[in-house]
Structure 1
Amino acid sequence: MTIGMSAALRNARLDAITTAAGANAKLRLYSGTRPATGGAATTLLAELTCGATLAPAASGGVLTLNAITSDTSADASGTATWARLVKSDNTFVMDMDVGTSGADLNMNSNVISAGAAVAITGATLTEANP
């Protein structure tokens, strides 16, 4: 059986991500197989900097991230398959899957070319009930 939570509890869990990330967190995009949570990273494709505050308060079980600064020059070429959110001091916060649909982090195109700009124009995290 799956757990169902109130919107207030789902929002609180999402707001805890904002608190854990702190100011100017980094979103790193990687290729390859996602490791165990917080495990050794694979090939770094790009690193983008989040805003001074990751997101405003969650609403309806959805956390909508504030603007994310583009990476003006990707580190490597490849297909982004997972991402890691770290604090500004590089402390691990969370890992997530990356894709073009149905992933934790969806991108218009998750194919990245070395030296090219990488932008995320909007991002949400959802704490959904079944």
Structure 2
Amino acid sequence: MGTFASASRTTGANAARDAAINAVAATLNNGTVRIYSGTAPTNADAALSSNTLLAQATLGATAFGAASSGVVTANSITADSSADATGTPTFFRLLASNGTTVVYQGTAGASGQELNLSGLSGGQIVAGGSVSISSLTMTQTASYA
């Protein structure tokens, strides 16, 4: 069995990570961002449990830019002009354009999360208020380094 040189191995890992996350990102074109409060389920396949849907936003026709080192960053996201409920955002789910297939789940908040929101009131989304997403990233972790 052969081995990789250190630089080649890293490049190969990044290329594979980029390809994987780009494929996932493509399934989210014209998809939906749903923002919830409460304890996040174990993973994106697990059912919601006592979580409150706070807001929904719409991803663009090309939802994400091209990956770099296994990370994709969302393009412009249409804000929710009237939030569904008041609460502290803790996680989000990304749904494919069919509105039912959950593709990704991550952390949400005012800053330092995968999904960062602007215009929160005391850290909360307020029912009927506008909800804007300032940034959204997805990361494909490396299988080896």
- Normalised to the residue count of structure 1, the TM-score between the two structures is 0.83
Shift of 1:103: 2.9
Q: C-alpha distance in 1, partners of 2:75/2:82?
A: 21
Residue 37 of structure 2 is aligned to residue 19 of structure 1: no
Shift of 1:92: 1.2
Shift of 1:51: 0.1
Q: C-alpha distance in 2, partners of 1:11/1:115?
A: 38
Cα 1:56–1:127 shift into 2, 3 Å: same
Residue 87 of structure 1 aligns with which residue? 96
Q: C-alpha distance in 2, partners of 1:87/1:127?
A: 18
Give the counterpart of 2:108 among 98, 113, 117: 98
Q: How does 1:1-130 map to 2 (within 5 A)?
A: 6-21=13-28, 23-37=29-43, 38-41=45-48, 42-90=51-99, 91-108=101-118, 109=120, 110-127=123-140
Q: 1:120 is matched by which residue type in structure 2?
A: I
Q: C-alpha distance in 1, partners of 2:91/2:138?
A: 14
Q: 1:104 is matched by which residue type in structure 2?
A: E
Q: C-alpha distance in 1, partners of 2:17/2:58?
A: 25
Cα RMSD (Å)? 2.1
Q: 1:53 is matched by which residue type in structure 2?
A: T
Aligned residues: 126
Secondary structure of 2:20's counterpart equals helix
Identity %: 43
Give 4+ residue runs of structure 1 displaced > 4 Å after superposition.
none
Q: Which segments of 5 or more consecutive residues in structure 2 lack a partner in the other structure?
A: 1-9
Q: C-alpha distance in 2, partners of 1:54/1:88?
A: 11
Secondary structure of 1:75's counterpart equals coil
Secondary structure of 2:108's counterpart equals strand
Shift of 1:111: 1.4
Q: Name which one, 1 or 2, has greater alpha-carbon Rg.
A: 2
